A and B are shown apart, each in its own frame.
Chain A
Amino acid sequence: MQAINFYKKFRPYSDYIVFGLVLSLAPLMVSIGVLRFAYLTIIAGVVIYAIVALGLNILMGYAGLVSLGTAGFMGVGAYLTAFFTTEIGMGFLPSILLTVAITSIMGIVVGLVSLRVQGFFLAMATLAISEILRQVFIEFSSFTNSFVGRRAGFPSFFALSLDRNQTFILLVAFLVLAMIVTRIITTSYTGRAMSAMSVVSGSEPAAAAMGINILRYKLIAFSIATAFAGLGGALYMHFIRFTIPTDWTFTLSLMFVAVVVIGGVRSVAGTVVGAFVVFGAPDLILANLPVIGDINGMPFVFTGLMIIVVILYYPAGLVYIWQDVKKFMQKRRGAAA
């Protein structure tokens, strides 16, 4: 009884931790044979992309600023950590910390652009920044190895080197951490200040008149989003262990916006659901179907149709399906009584 009360007291944080514990059973399922070996990579991808999308959710949902440059910053994170660990010989943890610090400083620079350029123009300005970064990935080959690709190893710290399964659990731990941090930020003064100045949920002039420092919160929002993207990129690098410049395209940036919108703007759980739908479902579901699973290009069509259908019928986000189901059940119970 006491345990349940304790659990309820710390919701939704305790939910996140339970979710993480369940997810970290996946490597065990693979070794038993319930899940296929390749699925672990797909689920790890979902976990990594969910971390990045959580940052974008803070930017889009709370601060009301759209970024189409997420993939570029993720790429920066990936290349930085590869450089730090393989060329300089840094450990995993300092490398991750340094990567996140550098990408969040880059976010502040983007934030400065957002003070002057707004709306659609800002989205396209971030796209331009991301394309510049991609050119750097291609041409600055002494650092990125260009199309040959850059390699890195599984993380190792405190004298232990992780294997694939342990790295997966580390990723899940980072996802849970990211969910908790997102929740803390969005429910704090910072989150409320961001909502107040957002174009969607508030008003910038009104917020400024109430004494909210617009400059400060725009810069904070961008630096959080790019820091999450940099963290995601670094984790990607240490799990997939290989990257080329074509990994960080405009389409990937758009997919992150899709994750946030499909899952539910301003919802932590929704973002994770969205990441599963956009990045996980096509490969996890389609690969099991006979005939259809073998057709080239089918996962793309499936993802595309799913994005279209979900947005047409659930524009508020998939996370609200649960509430609607609850309402429906209550109605039926009411009708029966």
Chain B
Amino acid sequence: MNIPLQIFLNSLDSGGRLALATMGIILIFRTSSAFNFAQGAISMFCAFIAASFLQATGMNVWVSSLVGVLGAVSIGIIVDRVVIKRTTKLHSVHKQIITLGLVMVFLGLAPMLFGSLNRLYPRFAQGSQTILNASITNGAIVNISIGISVMILLFYIIQKTKWGLGVRATASNDTVARMMGIPTTIITMGAWAVAAALGSLSAMMVAPDVQVQFAMMDSIQITALLACVLGGLGTFFGPVLAAYLIAMSRNFIAFYVSSVWADAIVYLLILAILMIAPNGIFGKKIIRKV
């Protein structure tokens, strides 16, 4: 049994889930300058949409996941059009409290629409493989490939396409971008839609392990927020790399040091790194005129 490789592969799986959620949060942070605390609640809601579609129609997991992601996109657009559009003039603390309001709304809507029972959700693939003495489930292989290919696709869009340029311009300075003719409202709306879709993808990967339930995304949400600051808020790739790094160190610490205290040790390490690099690993110091 090749234990280090086994842990590495598991970390790619759990890191991918975390990276998807982190990418959603940093995308919204950069375009709307607020942490989206509702990301986890929206993802949970979309996992419920997918799971109830699966139960009602008996379609396969891919179709229901697609329904869940489409639901996420429409929820993202609705949230942006109805609420976030009106908050552009507010301070970022106020915006973040509004996303807290959204958390409560989705946490309340979920039991109303879907009942309070947990639901099962299947993996994307069944069975398992053995690579170099390390066993890995086919579901994990699909998760890893979805995670990595979505990241590559997103970074390609952000770096190489016209829309990506628009996102980067909006992220760097919203007002100037608008003056230059970039449709920042559409960019922001797109960011909310894509972020919700990423979050719901992550939720559908988590769902088979913990079942579809109200608190399923809580720990991912918190770790993703920490990944954002660990990677630095100035770039898109920093938080994503930090997400993989956190998952990796969490799994190795859980195996070699202590499975019970792994989360606490990882949080302590994050704190320690922040004390050394107060703007995150890949962040730059913001120099302010006094």
Please report A residues at the B interface, Cβ cutoff 8 Å: 66, 113, 116-118, 120-121, 124-125, 127-129, 131-132, 135-136, 139, 203, 205-206, 249-251, 254-255, 257-258, 261-262, 295-308, 311-312, 315
Contacts and interface: CB of A to CB of B under 8 A. Distances in A.
25 contacts: A66-B93, A121-B278, A124-B226, A124-B228, A127-B225, A127-B226, A128-B270, A129-B271, A132-B268, A203-B290, A254-B97, A254-B103, A255-B100, A257-B100, A261-B94, A295-B112, A300-B107, A300-B108, A301-B109, A302-B108, A303-B108, A304-B100, A307-B97, A307-B104, A312-B98
A135 B266 CA distance: 11
B233 A120 contact: yes
B218 interface: yes
B103 A304 contact: yes
A183 B223 CA distance: 37
Contacts of A118: 278
A297 B107 contact: yes
A116 B278 contact: yes
A261 B98 CA distance: 10
A236 B127 CA distance: 50
A307 B222 contact: no
Nearest to B106: A304
Nearest to A68: B225
Contact of A124 (B101, B104, B225): B225
A296 B87 contact: no
B111 A296 contact: yes
Contacts of B222: 127, 131, 250
Given A302-B108, A304-B103, 5 more contacts: A113-B271, A124-B274, A300-B104, A303-B104, A312-B86
A306 B97 CA distance: 11
B105 A121 contact: no
Contacts of A262: 97
B160 interface: no
Contacts of B268: 128, 132
A108 to B, nearest CB: 16
Residue from B37, B109, B229, B233 having most chain A Cβ neighbours under 10 A: B229
Interface in B84-128: 86-87, 90-91, 93-94, 96-98, 100-112, 116
A315 B233 contact: no
Given A127-B225, A132-B267, A297 B100 contact: no
Contacts, number: 137
A311 B94 CA distance: 7
State the main secondary structure of chain A at its contact with B.
helix
A233 to B, nearest CB: 20
A121 B229 contact: yes
A122 to B, nearest CB: 9
Interface stretch (B52-60, B64-72, B256-264): B256-264
Interface in B209-265: 218, 221-222, 225-226, 228-229, 233, 260-261, 263-264
Give the bracket for the number of chain B residues in contact with chain A.
35 or more
A129 B86 CA distance: 33
Nearest to A307: B101
Lowest 3 A-B CB distances belong to which pairs? A300-B108, A304-B104, A301-B108
Contacts of A205: 290
Nearest to A255: B100
Contacts of B108: 297-304
A319 B97 CA distance: 17
A190 to B, nearest CB: 23
A307 B99 CA distance: 9
A220 B118 CA distance: 46
A214 to B, nearest CB: 14
A121 B279 CA distance: 7
Contacts of B112: 295-298, 301
A28 B87 CA distance: 44
A254 B90 CA distance: 18
Contact of B97 (A261, A299, A300, A301): A261
A268 to B, nearest CB: 19
Contact of A251 (B91, B97, B98, B103): B103
A251 B108 CA distance: 14
Contacts of B98: 307-308, 311-312
B275 interface: yes
A50 to B, nearest CB: 17
A295 to B, nearest CB: 6
Nearest to B263: A135
